[in-house]
Amino acid sequence: MEQINRVGTPKALEIKDDVYRLVIRLDAVPTQGWLNAFKSAKPVAGALQPAAVSIDKTELFFHSEERAIPEWIAHIGVWMAAANATLVEEDKAMNAWRAAEEAHRQETQRRLAEMNEKLKDL
């Protein structure tokens, strides 16, 4: 599982009616699983919600008045960390499931071979 991290500093792209459109660049294109984890991350505070952030390839966009930009950036950092942590846990769970499935498959093959050996002389 590849963690997604911020690259560089946020950049203001536009301003309209004292609301800035900002971009944060990411070091990789997020997977759908990461995006889902990001969008459902907590905490949220009023307008500061991950659903208000849009992501296009390696760019994360949000709108904010100047006074709230530091809060947005802090929350986005928390949501990114939560998405990364969620995927690490899901990856661990998937690896454990795969290991259990492989162990079961090997045990089944061992038992079948054992039974077939017993059946040889019948």
Query: Is 1 a domain residue?
Result: no
- Structural domain containing residue 57: 6-119
Query: pLDDT digits over 87-120, tens only?
Result: 877 778 778 888 889 999 999 999 999 999 989 9
Task: Work out the pLDDT band at 1, boundaries 50, 70, 90.
Answer: low
Total domain count for the chain?
1
Alpha helices in the chain (DSSP H): 32-39, 69-119
- 42 assigned to some structural domain: yes
> What are 68-79's pLDDT values in tens digits?
999 999 999 999
Q: What is the dihedral of CA 48, 16, 12, 73, to 10 degrees?
A: -10
CB 28 within 8 A of CB 8: no
| pTM score of the predicted model | 0.73
What is the rounded CA–CA span in Å between residue 115 and residue 119? Answer: 6
User: Is 60 a member of any domain?
Assistant: yes
Enter the tokens of residue 76. Answer: 């986005």
